[in-house]
Structure 1
Amino acid sequence: MSTDSITKNIPRLSTKREFINCLLIATVGCTFGQDMGIAPTYQFPSFKANFKVNNTWINGIIVSIFNIGCAIGGVLLSKISDYKGRKFTIWLAVSIFLLGGMIQLIPSTHYGQIIAGRFISGLSVGTTAVVAPGFITESITDVKHRGTVVVFYQFCVVIGIIYGNIVTLITSRAYPLDDNFNNNQWRIPIGFGMIWGLIVIVGLIFVPESQSYYKHKEERLLMQRENKNESKITWTECFTGKPRLGFRLLLGCLLMFFQQASGINYFFYYGSLLFSSVGLNDSYVTSLIFSLVNFFGTIIGVYCVGKAGRKTIFLWGCIGGCIAMIIYSSLGSFALTQSDGTISKSVGGCMIAFTCLFIIFFAISLGPITFVLVSELYPIRTKSLSMGIATNCNWLTNFFITLLTPTITAKIGYKYGYVFVACLGAAIFFTYFFVPETRGLTSNEIDMIFVGKNDSSYYEQEGDDEDDDKSLMDPVLITNISSALKYDSSNNESLEKQKSPSTEIDAISNNNLA
């Protein structure tokens, strides 16, 4: 009994239901976003007093260690999805997220506890950042909607940021910030962030496992029967496999690098600290304004990704963000401080305006499009591992930015923004000359972009696999693989009696999935 015979007998999904499923999967992005949203709590006097955080390096490590956890989770834990399924892996990751939150809330006065808790939470977010976008692309039938639904993940990240900002703002108003002994200031935001983990666990109950996962699980079992080593996905394959998987991996890594090197988290993690220095009385309100701008920009991005090419949107986002960052950095470096040493509030207001403009460009382009492009670059066989490696570059870049920002800003001030300008300039060059357009293309069609003219062996393989690729896009719902196998076997009793090799493989699959 083949996988095709299973999928043929399962009811089809409506496009509306597919969109709902994708949105439920994407809610896991809120766990990432809320961490960014509550970042200002680590600047609260009560937090620094409780954990004796008395220098910028410790502060940077507390914020940035989260990204190290994300990097490790994105490469190692995400591989579980190839063997246990996308849904199970997200459930496992969210459970780890809740564990990390509980560790942070345990009464203690040593900052090592917070570092450990944030590292563990990072393992979770790094895993879901790899698995969720891939799971979403496998849950939508029509390729023309693929980019739109992947943007759902970034949209939920933005929702999480706003949620974290609101909780932080409320606690900053409810508990006086000059009270160095009221730990509710920082405990409440961390505790409320854990709510998203519970929402994801419940929401995934109603989402079916990826059809692509089941199909490739069956193929892997068949290959194991013929040659046990042939079915293993190796690191070497991601770098040297055909067609040009190594080059595609490099593209994904650079796209992820440029997303963070644009400087977006320079504002989101340290926005309250940056703009308190320009004379603003309530910098937490400014952080919330940035998040709301990000929200509306992402809505525009959801619309644009379905109307324009990925490459075009990404390129113009880099150009617009670069211009906005140049003006922001120049104002802060040369116009903010007046000749008498006072701060010009009008210049500070202009800096906020250009920061908002930068965030709009990011929210429309680099924010959502990066995940869309990277999720489309790789074949299903190597997608989890390749995306894990590429996303790892995102986390490591974010780690160094969040670690070094307090120290560098203290030394060179707003000139730090020119570093991001240089990175955006490099991103413009890279995107224009090397990034392919993937909008509306199937996995096989994207493969063909990277096939060399003399690679006749892949052309032959492409012809053999064309039907398999189409079957992956078959709009069906696998709500329970065990019941699907049972249903199919009831219509093929004669095949069961013959004890053919394929039925033995199905039995193995059924036992493994039970």
Structure 2
Amino acid sequence: MSTSEHSQSGNNTPINDSLLEKEEKGHLPTLPKRAAKDYIFISLCCFLVAFGGFVFGFDTGTISGFVNMDDYLRRFGQHNSSGEYYLSNVRTGLIVSIFNVGCAIGGILLSKCADLWGRRVGLMISMAIYVVGIIVQIASQYSWVQYFIGRLITGVAVGIVSVVSPLFIGESSPKHLRGTLVCCFQLCITLGIFLGYCTNYGTKQSYSDSRTWRIPLGLCFAWAIMLVCGMLFMPESPRYLVEKNRLDDARNSIARSNKVSIEDPGVYTEVQLIQAGIDREKLAGKAGWLELITGKPKMLYRVIIGIVLQSLQQLTGNNYFFYYGTTIFKAVGMDDSFQTSIVLGVVNFASTFVGIYAIEKMGRRMCLLTGSACMSVCFIIYSVLGSVNLYIDGYENTPSNTRKPTGNALIFITCLFIFFFASTWAGGVYCIVSETYPLRIRSKAMSVATAANWLWGFLISFFTPFITSAIHFYYGFVFTGCLVFSFFFVFFCVPETKGLSLEEVDELYASNVVPWKTGSWTPPSVENMATTTGFAAESKPVDEQV
């Protein structure tokens, strides 16, 4: 039977109908849940995909140090009245934040290459663009504009990575490991940030010329090569392969990922389930940008969830802490901002391991709710202490004008906040967004949501120096308000998707269950999820046909 004939059969379920209303008897074999050692291969492969986060993190960790290096200031800075080199707030903001603009451009306009040529090729293309941007930066002599352009280009590449990597992991990983493996993307970001800090500290201690910042940039070539080589071993997304009618390749990908034979009946069932989901999606017609608004089930609602979550990830204030935390460390006697960065980087990286465990143990909703509540408390304490008790007179940030016990308390609160952020919202948002959308518009919807993250990242990184110099610690109350809003938004709007396949997530939205009750929602049976299978079932052995 042809695909079109299937679309006219009584077994087909419109995308806006719940399969729970179409229960049928029968049993389909499913993929067996195997021992942990049998998932080592797919876990390593997903970690290779997640390594794209390392590329992003390493840039974040190094640029914060570059703008404080003497040679960098001599080449790209300005003279003040005493003849010293410095970077103005405007120039610093532009150099740092243009990266976020590039990320938004790459995420929205170029992540489509992953739909056209596959997830693996999409990541390889991003690394080619990334290398071009690094070359432009390294070749910069005294023109800050050239360096600025290089960061814009690398931002475009990282924008593609930030969409495709979580998407790829979410589509390829077993559903009971998906949350953990998607959170590896955030783990790699924090690892990249930490090693970026360490690299800056090492070159600063060893050199005084352009090698202080060119060596860290040169290492970026190695990261790009590692990611490209990793893609040679990573099986292509089975959902992408089924959509392109490459069913044999899809079965092979599923078999490799789950350590079973390609002839395992569960492999055929998995392909059927994927094809069933694609068939239901195709009933809505060709996927265009307008479908982000008009698509079913609840597509606009889901897009808004992604945009708000990605925006709130920035509005938690984590970047504010990384920026202003250095100031507090200096106030209590830690003058070397590079050492300060390493301390924060260690806390950030170590805490992400907690998030990898918590996202599957606690669930997505509870993870975010706990994070919002705890970070709100941290910010209230931090802002009150900083506003009324840190400085003895005025806001002069010197050890002699600082109450050291209060400063030490603020350092502790800073580390505690970073712990709660890294273990909840940092990876949890990437996980939820990667599993919220149907295949046919997944890259479009994720690119829009991720662009919101980059937009707020740009605004915060550019304006924070100006705002903190004007209102100091009172800035923290702005983020406190955002965190309170995030708690109620997650509670009332974000459903629990722990343990569901990507096709079951679609059913969850079609079932109209209120978000705070989705933790107890039971998905349709495997047999019902496969009732709309098109050409996937026809290539199944006769004795295993449904």
| Shared fold per TM-score greater than 0.5 | yes
State the 1:271 CA deviation: 4.4
**Contact kept? 1:279, 1:343, Cα under 8 Å:** no
More helix by share: 1
> 3-state DSSP class of the match of 1:336?
coil
**Contact kept? 1:40, 1:272, Cα under 8 Å:** no
Indicate the residue corresponding to 1:329 in structure 2. 383
> 3-state DSSP class of the match of 1:218?
coil
Query: Is the counterpart of residue 163 in structure 1 residue 195 in structure 2?
Result: yes
Query: Is the counterpart of residue 370 in structure 1 residue 429 in structure 2?
Result: yes
State the 1:196 CA deviation: 1.3
1:471/1:30 Cα in 2 relative to 1: closer, same or farther (>3 Å)? farther
Indicate the residue corresponding to 2:529 in structure 1. 466
The CA distance in 2 between the partners of 1:329 and 1:388, in whole Å, is: 34
The CA distance in 1 between the partners of 2:432 and 2:492, in whole Å, is: 15
The CA distance in 2 between the partners of 1:117 and 1:437, in whole Å, is: 40
For 1:99, which of 132, 153, 165 is the aligned residue? 132
Q: What is the identity percentage for the equivalent residue pairs of Structure 1 and Structure 2?
A: 37
The CA distance in 2 between the partners of 1:73 and 1:312, in whole Å, is: 32
Indicate the residue corresponding to 2:171 in structure 1. 138
For 1:36, which of 54, 60, 63 is the aligned residue? 60
User: Considering only aligned residues, what root-mean-square deviation do their CA atoms show, in Å?
Assistant: 3.2
**Contact kept? 2:310, 2:429, Cα under 8 Å:** yes
The CA distance in 2 between the partners of 1:464 and 1:237, in whole Å, is: 28
The CA distance in 1 between the partners of 2:332 and 2:103, in whole Å, is: 33
The CA distance in 2 between the partners of 1:285 and 1:468, in whole Å, is: 59
Larger mean Cα displacement after TM superposition, 56-65 or 413-422: 413-422
1:2/1:134 Cα in 2 relative to 1: closer, same or farther (>3 Å)? farther
Indicate the residue corresponding to 2:220 in structure 1. 193
Indicate the residue corresponding to 1:485 in structure 2. none
The CA distance in 2 between the partners of 1:229 and 1:471, in whole Å, is: 12
> 3-state DSSP class of the match of 1:28?
helix
The CA distance in 2 between the partners of 1:453 and 1:373, in whole Å, is: 18
1:470/1:295 Cα in 2 relative to 1: closer, same or farther (>3 Å)? farther
The CA distance in 2 between the partners of 1:288 and 1:435, in whole Å, is: 35
1:72/1:193 Cα in 2 relative to 1: closer, same or farther (>3 Å)? same
State the 1:333 CA deviation: 1.8
State the 1:16 CA deviation: 2.1
State the 1:357 CA deviation: 0.3
Query: Is the counterpart of residue 125 in structure 1 residue 158 in structure 2?
Result: yes
TM-score by length of 2: 0.77
The CA distance in 2 between the partners of 1:421 and 1:469, in whole Å, is: 47
The CA distance in 2 between the partners of 1:185 and 1:201, in whole Å, is: 27
State the 1:272 CA deviation: 3.5
Aligned residues: 453
1:41/1:208 Cα in 2 relative to 1: closer, same or farther (>3 Å)? same
Residue identity matched to 2:485: A
Query: Is the counterpart of residue 309 in structure 1 residue 363 in structure 2?
Result: yes
The CA distance in 2 between the partners of 1:325 and 1:351, in whole Å, is: 10
State the 1:140 CA deviation: 1.6
Task: Report 1:170-319 matches (<5 A).
Answer: 170-175=202-207, 182-218=209-245, 232-268=286-322, 271-272=325-326, 275-319=329-373
The CA distance in 2 between the partners of 1:403 and 1:308, in whole Å, is: 35
Residue identity matched to 1:466: M
1:44/1:271 Cα in 2 relative to 1: closer, same or farther (>3 Å)? farther
For 1:22, which of 36, 46, 57 is the aligned residue? 46
For 2:474, which of 391, 415, 420 is the aligned residue? 415
Indicate the residue corresponding to 1:179 in structure 2. none
1:468/1:171 Cα in 2 relative to 1: closer, same or farther (>3 Å)? farther
> 3-state DSSP class of the match of 1:281?
coil
Query: Is the counterpart of residue 46 in structure 1 residue 71 in structure 2?
Result: yes
Indicate the residue corresponding to 2:98 in structure 1. 65
The CA distance in 2 between the partners of 1:274 and 1:344, in whole Å, is: 11
**Contact kept? 1:36, 1:268, Cα under 8 Å:** no
**Contact kept? 1:33, 1:159, Cα under 8 Å:** yes
State the 1:24 CA deviation: 1.1
1:280/1:448 Cα in 2 relative to 1: closer, same or farther (>3 Å)? same
1:276/1:453 Cα in 2 relative to 1: closer, same or farther (>3 Å)? closer
State the 1:57 CA deviation: 1.0
Structure 2: where are the runs of 5+ without partners? 4-28, 79-86, 248-274, 276-281, 514-523
State the 1:330 CA deviation: 1.9
1:471/1:60 Cα in 2 relative to 1: closer, same or farther (>3 Å)? farther
The CA distance in 1 between the partners of 2:298 and 2:45, in whole Å, is: 32
State the 1:277 CA deviation: 4.6
1:120/1:273 Cα in 2 relative to 1: closer, same or farther (>3 Å)? farther
The CA distance in 1 between the partners of 2:528 and 2:159, in whole Å, is: 32
**Contact kept? 2:325, 2:414, Cα under 8 Å:** no
Larger mean Cα displacement after TM superposition, 69-78 or 436-445: 436-445
